[in-house]
Structure 1
Amino acid sequence: MGPLLGVSILVFGGYLAFAYQPEIAPVSADDLPEYDREPVEKGRILAAAGYRASCHTAADGAPCAGIYAMEIGFGRFYSKNITPDPDLGIGAWSEQAFRRAMHEGVNREGQHLFPGFPFDHFGKMSDEDIRTIMPI
């Protein structure tokens, strides 16, 4: 085995170790906790401050239903549906999956969301604040 092959194997192994993210199992509505009104109102305010609706709502579209087109350095990107719909949105995401997306930019299925989703802007949010903006 030549040195180039050995280095290639090490680089590829390092990539797998750091880039791979496992899928997080979906949850059902019955698995979700009850929420108090006060944190929900705080979440509404935080979500508005983070421009959630403006980035996830197409012109004349349903709020936060996605398909808002944005031109980024890699081409055109369409925002995702972040409504609590379990089939079309992120309603089947657990709190753990939502927190990972906000802190690490990785969705429930383990796919990286960057550069389309600027998770680095939200990565310093506390777990409590993330919990309050999670769609119910």
Structure 2
Amino acid sequence: MIRKMKKEDLLYVKQLMQSIPDFWHPNWNNKTLEKAFNSSNAIVFVYEIENKIVGCIFAYDFGFRAYIAKLAVSKEMQKHRIGSKLLEHVENILMERNCELIIADALPSSESFYLKLGWTHPYAKLVRKRLIK
């Protein structure tokens, strides 16, 4: 079941993220997660099965475009369409807001997941600058 994320979910969301290889960054902490949750334009949901959080999504609507910052599903629940359902839920919200384009920050291991769902590589080349080493 998909439901709006609550602040008290953050400990379980953190544990979920830390259970996925290469997902949690060493310089992140509880404040990082709280900041992502509290952002004024945050669209955040969890997927729960029998009162256990097995998936989560952090999305943001910036007007010009939307951004999926994090989508996580527990290893044992992958292949059960939980990620697809979370993504579809957020896509529907963004379409209702008349959002034209959505971009995802995805691990290389997740690229095929997005491509299977009809996502494509952007025309623009994304660049980054690491502020904390």
Question: TM-score band, normalised by the shorter chain?
Answer: under 0.3
Q: Which has the higher helix share?
A: 1
Q: Which has the higher contact order (CA 8 A, sep 6+)?
A: 1
Q: Which has the higher strand share?
A: 2
| TM-score after normalising by structure 2 | 0.27
